[in-house]
């Protein structure tokens, strides 16, 4: 009996030991999983932060955001806040994660003793050459806040003009895209129904109808080939326009375009005059100004003109003499620049010319907006109406197609 009791007590003690061991093991596993969970999230956040910092080095800052950033810096500096504290405040309120990293690195670079211009030079995608040169001029003259205010005004005017052009282009692009989709739906899905019906007529179909049916059959069978041709053509044109000769062909074609050519021409002239006036007024040297204007223009005609002006000025000439011999610049710019050179107020005359062309661009955009709508309606009517008429033409000529009625 006492052996049986002893064995029972031993088994109970053994079970209690196993239960306590398993519970302690489970608690250790829970503690381990709880301890590894924060480390996992920390590693994930660290990987995301590294990815953000890597992309920030090549991040292209939108012009609208750069304009707001420049205006905020100018306002805070005018209020007497030091540059490092200004950047710290802007870093906290910026929602863009990539730009937040850029501002942080610029602030840390300035805190370590470097200049503002050398710090922003490390991010050429985010800060254009115009911004960097204006910062250098502001640091050299001691009027960084005033010069940044001028840069912000320049960026804001550029953003407004770009928005007006984009708003004018949005409607026609949307309508043309809708027309392309509608025509493809008609060719691929609707016309085959008519083709099956016309196949029982036993007579030759009218030429427009037969052409549409052939086109429909081709698209149904070789739609992938059409997509490949369109994609290859787009990529080929894109690659060609990246070459020097391709850029020249593209820019000359854009300026000579029948509807949007005058608008593109005036926008280029306005940007040239506005950039030149802003840089000269801020104290940037004339040769450096021409380099920045050339890189900011985006047009080979202005780039060629800036090279010629630089050579001419180096030889003791004047800007108006080069502009007078260049057909890209209208007579008004030549006379205004010449008047500015005689009075010593070239930047003021350039600014007035830029204001004039901005007004002209607004008028052209308004005229195009009112003109494009009826043109697109006529375009859609001709395309869709032509398809419908071609498909109903055999029905109108039913007597001749079916055969018998003269």
Q: Considering the domain boundaries, does residue 12 fall inside one? A: no
Residue 233 pLDDT:
94
Q: Tens digits of per-residue pLDDT, 275-308?
A: 899 888 888 888 888 988 888 888 899 999 999 9
Residue 374 pLDDT:
85
Residue 300 pLDDT:
92
Confidence of residue 17 (pLDDT cuts 50, 70, 90): very low
Q: Same domain for 121 and 161?
A: no
- Identify the domain boundary among 78, 112, 127: 127
Q: What is the mean pLDDT of residues 212-235?
A: 89
Say which range, 163-172, 328-337, 390-399, has the weakest mean pLDDT.
Answer: 390-399
Confidence of residue 253 (pLDDT cuts 50, 70, 90): very high
Residue 266 has pLDDT above 80, yes or no: yes
Residue 365 pLDDT:
84
Residue 205 pLDDT:
81
Residue 182 pLDDT:
86
Residue 121 has pLDDT above 80, yes or no: yes
Residue 30 has pLDDT above 60, yes or no: no
Q: Tens digits of per-residue pLDDT, 135-191?
A: 888 888 788 888 899 889 888 888 888 888 787 788 888 888 888 888 888 888 888
Q: Same domain for 293 and 388?
A: yes
Domain limits at 111?
A: 63-127
Q: Same domain for 321 and 385?
A: yes
The tally of domains found in the chain comes to: 2
Q: Considering the domain boundaries, does residue 19 fall inside one? A: no
Q: Same domain for 86 and 197?
A: no
pTM greater than 0.85 (yes/no) = no
Q: What is the mean pLDDT of residues 103-124?
A: 91
Q: Tens digits of per-residue pLDDT, 54-84?
A: 888 888 889 899 999 999 999 999 988 899 9
Q: Same domain for 122 and 160?
A: no
Q: Considering the domain boundaries, does residue 150 fall inside one? A: no
Q: Same domain for 199 and 241?
A: yes
Q: Tens digits of per-residue pLDDT, 202-212?
A: 677 888 888 98
Residue 263 has pLDDT above 70, yes or no: yes
Q: Considering the domain boundaries, does residue 82 fall inside one? A: yes
Q: Same domain for 94 and 213?
A: no
Q: Considering the domain boundaries, does residue 119 fall inside one? A: yes
The mean pLDDT of the chain is: 83
Q: What percent of the chain has pLDDT over 90?
A: 25
Q: Same domain for 327 and 235?
A: yes
CATH label of the domain that carries residue 82: 1.20.81.30
Q: Considering the domain boundaries, does residue 101 fall inside one? A: yes
Q: Same domain for 375 and 325?
A: yes
Q: What is the mean pLDDT of residues 249-266?
A: 88
Q: Say which residues have a Cβ less than 8 Å from residue 127's Cβ, sequence separation at least 6.
A: 61, 66, 120, 121
Q: What is the mean pLDDT of residues 213-230?
A: 88
Residue 37 pLDDT:
55
Q: Same domain for 195 and 254?
A: yes
Q: Same domain for 106 and 163?
A: no
Q: Same domain for 76 and 202?
A: no
Q: Considering the domain boundaries, does residue 236 fall inside one? A: yes
Residue 117 has pLDDT above 80, yes or no: yes
Residue 10 pLDDT:
40
Q: Considering the domain boundaries, does residue 210 fall inside one? A: yes
Confidence of residue 339 (pLDDT cuts 50, 70, 90): very high
Chain centroid to Cα 72, Å, comes to: 23
Confidence of residue 7 (pLDDT cuts 50, 70, 90): very low
């Amino acid at each position: 009996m006492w052996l049986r009791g002893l064995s029972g007590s031993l088994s109970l003690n053994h079970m209690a030991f196993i239960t306590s061991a398993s519970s302690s093991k489970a608690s250790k596993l829970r503690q381990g999983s709880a301890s590894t969970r924060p480390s996992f999230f920390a590693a994930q956040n660290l990987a995301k932060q590294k990815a953000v910092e890597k992309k920030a080095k090549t991040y292209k800052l939108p012009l609208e955001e750069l304009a707001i950033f420049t205006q905020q810096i100018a306002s805070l500096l005018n209020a007497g806040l030091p540059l490092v504290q200004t950047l710290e405040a802007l870093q906290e309120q910026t929602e863009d994660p990539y730009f937040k990293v850029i501002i942080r690195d610029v602030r840390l670079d300035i805190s370590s003793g470097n200049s503002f211009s050398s710090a922003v030079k490390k991010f050429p995608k985010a800060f254009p050459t115009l911004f960097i040169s204006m910062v250098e001029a502001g640091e050299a003259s001691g009027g960084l806040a005033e010069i940044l205010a001028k840069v912000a005004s320049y960026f804001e005017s550029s953003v407004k003009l770009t928005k007006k052009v984009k708003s004018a282009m949005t409607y026609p692009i949307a309508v043309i895209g809708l027309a392309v989709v509608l025509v493809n739906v008609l060719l691929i899905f609707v016309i085959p129904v008519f083709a099956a019906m016309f196949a029982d007529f036993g007579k030759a179909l009218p030429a427009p109808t037969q052409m549409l049916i052939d086109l429909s059959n081709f698209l149904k069978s070789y739609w992938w080939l059409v997509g490949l041709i369109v994609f290859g053509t787009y990529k080929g044109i894109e690659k060609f326009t990246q070459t020097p000769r391709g850029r020249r062909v593209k820019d000359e074609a854009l300026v000579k375009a029948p509807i949007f050519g005058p608008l593109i021409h005036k926008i280029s002239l306005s940007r040239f005059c506005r950039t030149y006036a802003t840089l000269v007024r801020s104290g940037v040297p004339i040769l450096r100004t021409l380099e920045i204007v050339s890189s900011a223009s985006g047009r080979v005609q202005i780039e060629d003109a800036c090279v010629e002006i630089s050579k001419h000025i180096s030889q003791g000439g004047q800007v108006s003499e080069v502009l007078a011999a260049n057909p890209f610049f209208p007579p008004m710019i030549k006379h205004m620049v010449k008047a500015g050179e005689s009075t010593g107020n070239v930047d003021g005359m350039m600014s007035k010319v830029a204001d004039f062309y901005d007004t002209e661009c607004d008028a052209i955009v308004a005229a195009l907006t009112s003109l494009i709508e009826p043109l697109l309606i006529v375009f859609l009517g001709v395309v869709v109406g032509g398809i419908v008429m071609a498909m109903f033409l055999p029905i109108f000529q039913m007597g001749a197609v079916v055969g018998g009625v003269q």
